[in-house]
Structure 1
Amino acid sequence: MITIYQNDNSVIWFDDEWISDPTPAIFDANYWQSQNRVVGSAKGRGTTWFVQLEGMQVEGIQIDGMQAALRHYRRGGLFGKLVNDHYWFAGWEQTRSAQEFRLLQRLIDAGVNVPRPIAARAVKSGLTYQADLLSERIPNARDLVSILQEKPLPSAMYQKIGQEIAKMHKANVNHTDLNIHNILIDDQDKVWIIDFDKCRQEASGDWKQSNLNRLKRSFQKELLNKKIHWKDTDFLQIERQG
Structure 2
Amino acid sequence: MWASGQLSCKRRITARAWQVSPMADRRMTQIRSGFDCRSNSGTITSPGTKELGLLTETVEKTRNGAILYDKAIINQISDERFTPQGWMHAELLTGALGSGGRGSTMFVGNVPRQFVLRHYMRGGLLGKLIKDTYLFSGAEKTRPFLEWRLLDKLASNNMRVPRPAAARYVQRGTFYTADIITVRIPGIVPLSQYIADNDPDEAFWNSVGAAIQEFHATGVYHADMNAYNVQIDTDGLTWLLDFDKGRLRKPGPWQQETLGRLHRSLHKIVGLDPRLHFRSKNWEQLLDGYFNASRSS
Bin the TM-score by the shorter chain. Answer: 0.7 to 0.9
- Long gaps (5+) in structure 2: 1-55
Partner of 2:130: 83
The counterpart of 1:28, out of the listed 83, 88, 94, is: 83
* Rounded Cα–Cα distance in structure 1 between residues aligned with 2:60 and 2:271: 47
* Rounded Cα–Cα distance in structure 2 between residues aligned with 1:157 and 1:15: 34
Post-superposition, which runs of at least 4 consecutive aligned residues in structure 1 deviate over 6 A? none
Q: Secondary structure of 2:197's partner? A: coil
Partner of 1:67: 114
1:41 partnered with 2:93: yes
* Rounded Cα–Cα distance in structure 2 between residues aligned with 1:159 and 1:114: 19
What RMSD in Å do the two structures reach over aligned CA positions?
1.7
Partner of 2:52: none
Equivalent pairs counted in the alignment come to 229
Partner of 2:255: 208
Q: Deviations over 1:65-102 (max 9, x none)?
A: 02211111111223222222110001111111111111
Partner of 2:283: 235
Amino acid corresponding to residue 109 of structure 1 in structure 2: S
Q: Percent identity among equivalent residues?
A: 35
Q: Equivalent residues in 2 for 1:156-167 (5 A)?
A: 156-167=203-214
Partner of 2:57: 2
CA displacement at 1:8 relative to structure 2: 4.8
If each structure's strand is expressed as a fraction of its own residues, which one has the higher value? 1
Q: Deviations over 1:101-127 (max 9, x none)?
A: 111112213322011111000111110
Higher relative contact order (CA 8 A, sep 6+): 2
Higher Rg of the two aligned structures: 2
* Rounded Cα–Cα distance in structure 2 between residues aligned with 1:161 and 1:183: 9
CA displacement at 1:40 relative to structure 2: 4.4
Q: TM-score, normalised by structure 1?
A: 0.88
* Rounded Cα–Cα distance in structure 2 between residues aligned with 1:30 and 1:17: 23
- Long gaps (5+) in structure 1: 55-64
Amino acid corresponding to residue 154 of structure 2 in structure 1: L
Amino acid corresponding to residue 244 of structure 2 in structure 1: D
CA contact (8 A) 1:184 1:193 kept: yes
